[in-house]
Structure 1
Amino acid sequence: MKVIPYLVTIFLLTISLNCAAQLSPVPKSYSLTTPEDYNKYEKDVINVINWLEQTPWNSKNGERQIANSFFLAWMSGSPTVTIELGDKILMEIMEKNKELTFSYMGGYAKYALQSRTDKTSFDINKAKLAGFKAIISKYNSEKKRSKDKNVEMLAELDSEGKLENWIATELGKK
């Protein structure tokens, strides 16, 4: 009978760890009004991006929506990160799996924040590469996604080591 208290303790610890892991890292109260505000939250944005990539779309506690809202609010006013969403393939992917838009923007923004040293050294193709790799990763890990031949083509290019070249050549043909 001494086993039961241990099992109950393990069960309760498992539940509490699972609940804690699902809470998003969005700051409890934040203000995004001045350029300094956006800079102040850059680490939080990276944490939110990482959390969104690890959290399934069908999370029932509403934390994904809170994280998405914070990320969109930050992206819409950020003086340092601007994302171009006009690529045809990206638009087609967004039609099938709208949530992958956040993956693309997250990968792109994370690259932009972590690799910038000055504005002249920013490589838009590497930012797009990070965005597309984030799409591939989330697509492959997400159970509730719609099948998408575009993402599967990108994944194949990536596995062959050709994705970066494809971005530089095919997306450059606009």
Structure 2
Amino acid sequence: MYGQEIEVPVNPVFESEADYKAYETKVLEAIDWAAYTPVNTETDKRKKVNAFLLEWMSGTPYIDIVVSDGLVPYMEHPECFMVFMSGWTKYSLTHNYTNNELDCALAGTEHVIIFYEKNKSALGKIGSIEKLIKLQKKGKLKNYIEKQLEG
């Protein structure tokens, strides 16, 4: 995926559910581009991609992203937060528009882990994500996320 060009929609119109649905393919392309393009390259394009994704994700009437401090402890890292929301969105779109909070949050978190591991040298060490990686390696990530959602 890295190296592929992506056309970021200019002035997309989001007035109805049909408008959001019409952009789903572009949203999935943008999510993959952002995930597989190193964070320290094509920074201007990354800003445009992230702005498009954020506009789409914040307005879509059929995907509800749950954000809590316990669930997303790395919110102070905008790229990682964006990747979490993107992973949640991608999972929902590719799984019949599910809004299962646990499954979507797990997918978003796993998306962050993959992104972080690929970009660690550019991002620097982030303790909260290191903790999530350890939980994942121990097979306890899903249980941890479930507890965060409950509480």
Identity of aligned residues (%): 31
Matched, 1:93 2:74: yes
Greater RCO structure (CA 8 Å; 6+ sep): 2
Contact 1:104 1:131 in 2 (8 A): yes
How far the C-alpha of 1:160 sits from its partner, in A, is: 2.0
Q: In the aligned structure 1, how far is the partner of 2:19 from the partner of 2:49?
A: 17
Q: Which moved more, 1:40-49 or 1:159-168?
A: 159-168
Q: Larger helix proportion, structure 1 or 2?
A: 1
* Rg (Cα) greater in structure: 1
Q: 1:166 to 1:79 in 2, by over 3 A?
A: same
Q: In the aligned structure 1, how far is the partner of 2:134 from the partner of 2:43?
A: 34
Q: Which runs of 5+ in 2 are unaligned?
A: none
Moved beyond 6 Å, runs of 4+:
none
Q: 1:144 to 1:36 in 2, by over 3 A?
A: same
Cα-to-partner distance string for 1:108-133 (whole Å, 9 max, x where unaligned): 0001111126xxx6421010000100
Normalising by structure 2, report the TM-score. Answer: 0.88
Q: In the aligned structure 2, how far is the partner of 1:47 from the partner of 1:93?
A: 24
Count of residues in Structure 1 that have an aligned counterpart in Structure 2: 149
Contact 1:89 1:150 in 2 (8 A): no
